[in-house]
Structure 1
Amino acid sequence: MDDDKNYQNDDSYDEDDGIYSYPDEVQIAEAREAGNQALASLQVARESLTKASGWGMVDLFGGNIISGAMKYARINDAKKQIAQAKLDVQVLSEKLGNLPGVDSIHLNVDGFLTFADFFLDGAVADILVQAKIERARGSVDTAIASIKDALNNLPA
């Protein structure tokens, strides 16, 4: 019976259920924290992609090397935030399992396309880069929705 007294003094023991609930609460809190961090990273990435898209439109319709440089600066910002979000999502996935749409976030503007965009400065390269930006933004939106859904389904 002394064991019962020890359990009753322990905050993690639930008398009604007769089980410990503390580890689950900790996992839920950790999952919520990881999810919120991933959302923050993805929202910053989305802002960077939106800015890159705006600079891409300027570049497409008569921009110059400055607009191209600004576009790639925002693309690089987005890549960093996407990489951080993937790390945050990895922590979240450890707590909740795989989240659909999160692993598919990619922003791959390869070396040749970057070279073509800067040095050949043609509409085709501008359109291809713009399409990649828009696909990445769509992927980020899907990941944001997936994480929000997962967080909303966590117990309160």
Structure 2
Amino acid sequence: MYDAERNNREIEEALAAGRAALDSLNRVNHSLSSAKGFGIWDMLGGGFISGMLKHSKIDSASAEMENAKMLLGKFQKELRDVSMHPDMNIDIGGFAVFADFFLDNIVSDWYVQSKINRSKEQVEEAIEHVEHALYELERMMR
């Protein structure tokens, strides 16, 4: 009975860590969606304000991504405790922000927009991985 209780506790810890990581990834995704919208506006000639708003959302996404990375690391550790080993690697590049700010033209705006889109795709993929792992954990609990 002790092993079953211990196993359930490990699964509960993994579930809690996964839910926290998923919440953080969803916040990153929301910020990237906003940045994407402002990026389109910026490419269509939105000017300084749209560029500032876009970069504000990119900054928010980057800050939350650091939190998400930490939470994903914790989640991966908890998954190892219950013998699950998913591979979740995500990253947001920083050079694009610098290039767009100082080389504000359609080429750099397009480059930043493509980086936002790639980052958003990676975050959405990570969300899918976390959701799948959470589903498997919940199945293990039953």
TM-score (norm 2): 0.89
| Alignment-derived partner of residue 122 in structure 2 | 139
Once the two structures are superposed, the pairs formed by residues 1-156 of structure 1 within 5 Å of their partners are 14=1, 19-97=2-80, 98-100=85-87, 102-103=88-89, 105-110=90-95, 113-154=96-137, 155-156=140-141
Greater alpha carbon shift after TM alignment, 72-81 vs 48-57: 72-81
Structure 2: gaps of 5 or more residues: none
Task: Work out the CA distance in 2 between the residues paired with 1:129 and 1:35.
Answer: 30
RMSD value, Cα: 1.4
Counterpart of 2:66, as a letter, is A
Say which structure is richer in helix. Answer: 2
Inter-CA distance 151–115: structure 2 relative to 1 (3 Å threshold): closer
Q: Assess, with a 3 A threshold, how the Cα gap between structure 1 residues 107 and 153 changes in structure 2: closer, same or farther.
A: same
- In 2, the alpha carbon distance for the partners of 1:108 and 1:59 equals 19
Deviations, residues 79-135 of structure 1 (Å, cap 9, x unaligned): 1111111111111111213422x21x111131xx43442343210000000000000
**Runs (4+) off by over 4 Å:** none
- Distance (whole Å) between structure 1 residues aligned to residue 5 and residue 76 of structure 2: 20
Separation of aligned partners in 1, 2:100 and 2:120? 20
User: Relative contact order (alpha carbons < 8 A, sep ≥ 6): 1 or 2 greater?
Assistant: 2
The aligned amino acid for 1:108 is: G
Kindly tell me the number of residue pairs found equivalent between the two proteins.
Answer: 135
1:52–1:70 Cα contact (<8 Å) kept:
yes
Aligned partners of 1:22, 1:142: CA distance in 2, in Å? 32
1:132 to 1:94, Cα distance in 2 relative to 1, 3 A: same
Q: Alignment identity in percent?
A: 35
- Is contact 1:31–1:95 with CA below 8 Å preserved after alignment? yes
- Alignment CA distance shift 1:91-1:119 (3 Å): closer
Q: Distance in 1 between matches of 2:99 and 2:77?
A: 40
